[in-house]
Amino acid sequence: MAVRTVLRMGDARLLQPARPVERFGTPELHALVADMEDTMRALDGAGLAAPQIGVALQVVIFGVEHNPRYPDAETVPYTVLVNPALTPLGNEVEEGWEGCLSVPGMRGLVPRLQRVQYEGYDQHGRRIERTVSGFHARVVQHECDHLAGILYPMRIRDLRNFGYTEVLFPGQEELQE
Ligand code: NI
């Protein structure tokens, strides 16, 4: 398929809520997911939401398997998640560093729920329901935020913990999504 241009922070399309997908298993939905996967892999990202390529639909993909940009990260299974819903489990919140393909070259310290349940569908309409914690929970919260028009810098509690990756973490690979 195709590697698409990722919109960057400042583009109003990143701030708009996404619409639910109404029909599963269509050529259009498969093409969208294929483009998102090509784009995420080309940029070595851990996740991507459809609004980041200018498509205002509730589709996210994510997954981390031995990503050189995340040398210490837990692995997260590759997942296509359509029309997701998140349910908090408990109220424990953890701060962790995040990056985003729409905010290239930067990282911020973002509070996220430590444990969540998520549900939704894959692109074929098969139901997905998982209870996750830690990094997996962080990634899915970051991606679902994109569907509500929220970018991670909007979640940073103390903007002193927001800066350029190469300054904050000299010598480390850039972390995104
Ligand atoms: Ni992002």
Cα 46 to ligand 1 centroid, rounded to whole Å:
9
Angle at 139 between CA 5 and CA 64, to 5 degrees: 75
Query: Can you name the residues that pair with 48 across neighbouring β-strands?
Result: 61
Identify the structural domains of the chain with CATH numbers, from first to last: 12-175 (3.90.45.10)
- Which residue is listed with tokens 């309409």? 125
pTM of the predicted model, to two decimals?
0.94
Among 20-24, 64-68, 124-128, the least confident range: 64-68
8 Å CB contact between 93 and 111: yes
- 65 in active site: no
Q: Which pairing describes strands 162-164 and 76-88: parallel, antiparallel, or unpaired?
A: unpaired
Q: What is the pLDDT of residue 153?
A: 98
Between residues 171 and 122, the one the model is more confident about: 122
Share of the chain above pLDDT 90, in %: 88
Among 116-125, 127-136, 166-175, the least confident range: 166-175
Cα 112 to ligand 1 centroid, rounded to whole Å:
14
Sign of the CA dihedral running 174, 8, 22, 36: negative
Per residue in 78-124, pLDDT (tens digit) is: 999 999 999 999 999 999 999 999 999 999 999 999 999 999 999 99
Cα 126 to ligand 1 centroid, rounded to whole Å:
25
Q: What is the pLDDT of residue 69?
A: 60
Residue list, CB under 5 A from ion ligand 1: 100, 177
Cα 49 to ligand 1 centroid, rounded to whole Å:
7
Measured between its terminal Cα atoms, the distance across the chain in Å is 22
The model's confidence at residue 68, banded by pLDDT at 50, 70 and 90, is low
Mean pLDDT, residues 134-149 taken together: 97
Mean per-residue pLDDT of the chain: 94
Cα 16 to ligand 1 centroid, rounded to whole Å:
14
Cα 151 to ligand 1 centroid, rounded to whole Å:
7
Q: Is the pLDDT of residue 173 over 70?
A: no
The model's confidence at residue 177, banded by pLDDT at 50, 70 and 90, is low
Q: Which position among 28, 95, 143, 177 bears the catalytic label?
A: 143
Per residue in 9-36, pLDDT (tens digit) is: 999 999 999 999 999 999 999 999 999 9
